[in-house]
């Protein structure tokens, strides 16, 4: 499996799952556009786009940092233009940026509901709206939406998050139909239990991490999806854990 020569845009790749995907893409030979809002250290969570780029480059890969708030239409439009200017094309889009506010629906602040909808649904919509047309011009490409098992089963205090992931799955299936004639694959990937900086932050110090895996394993499955097209594999919502059993990844 190789992504040699492909240009991949990964949102939310300053840390966590996005960073794991970006690193694996770099190892596979892709030129990676590392996209997130985080440019400097000092927030609640470690990591920023420049550190991710450095890691990819130190490992022998190619990457550039692009600061972008995926909920801002002008910034996403500018991102698409900037990536094309830098690399000449866009072959892969990973919609990974996401937020989760773990509060019961009746206690959830309206601004937190709106935030979850903006980042988890508006963000992927805007990225597809402005980056997919470039793939249409090329008659090739792959879009990967990072979803969650929460789309099918609501966890305590997780209704708003579940709503966004269920919506993202429907967006995936619908967009796959729209883009099939252009040979563009559109799939959603449920990573399963991944030990990220954010996951550690919201759990107690004695939490049992048995069975949880590193962000890089999501990169391996994403790399397989990245090289698919509308003829080989599209319009699917898949669990990462099933890859080894079903597709040998």
Q: Of these residues, 49, 161, 217, 223, which one is catalytic?
A: 161
The runs of H, that is alpha helices, within the chain are 16-27, 49-58, 73-87, 110-117, 123-138, 159-179, 197-201, 216-226, 243-246
DSSP element (H, E) containing 185: strand 184-190
Close Cβ partners of 238 (under 8 Å, ≥ 6 residues apart) = 187, 188, 189, 190, 221, 225
Chain-centroid distance of CA 24 in Å reads 13
Question: What CA–CA distances, in Å, run from 15 to 49, 102, 120, 198, 203?
Answer: 8, 20, 17, 9, 17
Distance from C-alpha of 108 to C-alpha of 97, rounded to nearest angstrom: 21
Residue 161 annotated to the active site: yes
- Pseudo-torsion of CA 164, 228, 224, 4, nearest 10°? -120
Query: How many other CB atoms sit within 10 Å of the CB of residue 42?
Result: 7
Distance from C-alpha of 28 to C-alpha of 9, rounded to nearest angstrom: 14
Give catalytic residue positions: 161
């Amino acid at each position: 499996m190789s992504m040699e020569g492909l240009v991949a845009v990964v949102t939310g790749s300053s840390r966590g799952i996005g960073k794991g995907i970006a690193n694996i893409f770099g190892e596979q030979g892709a030129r990676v556009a590392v996209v997130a809002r985080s440019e400097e250290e000092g927030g609640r969570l470690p990591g920023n786009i420049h550190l991710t780029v450095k890691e990819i480059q130190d490992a022998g890969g190619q990457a550039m940092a692009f600061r972008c708030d995926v909920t801002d239409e002008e910034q996403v439009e500018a991102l698409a233009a900037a990536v094309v200017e830098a690399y000449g094309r866009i072959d892969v889009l990973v919609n990974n940026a996401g937020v989760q506010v773990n509060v019961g629906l009746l206690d959830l602040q309206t601004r937190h509901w709106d935030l979850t909808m903006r980042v988890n649904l508006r963000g992927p919509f805007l990225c597809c709206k402005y980056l997919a047309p470039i793939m249409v011009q090329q008659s090739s490409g792959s879009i990967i939406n990072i979803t969650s098992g929460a789309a099918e089963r609501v966890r305590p205090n997780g209704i708003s998050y579940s709503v966004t992931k269920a919506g993202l799955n429907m967006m995936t299936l619908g967009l796959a139909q729209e883009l099939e004639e252009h040979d563009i694959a559109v799939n959603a990937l449920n990573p399963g239990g991944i030990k990220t900086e954010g996951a550690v932050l919201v759990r107690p110090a004695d939490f049992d991490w048995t069975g949880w895996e590193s962000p890089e394993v999501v990169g391996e499955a994403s790399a397989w999806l990245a090289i698919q097209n509308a003829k080989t594999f599209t319009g699917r919502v898949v669990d990462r854990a099933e890859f080894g059993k079903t597709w040998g990844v």
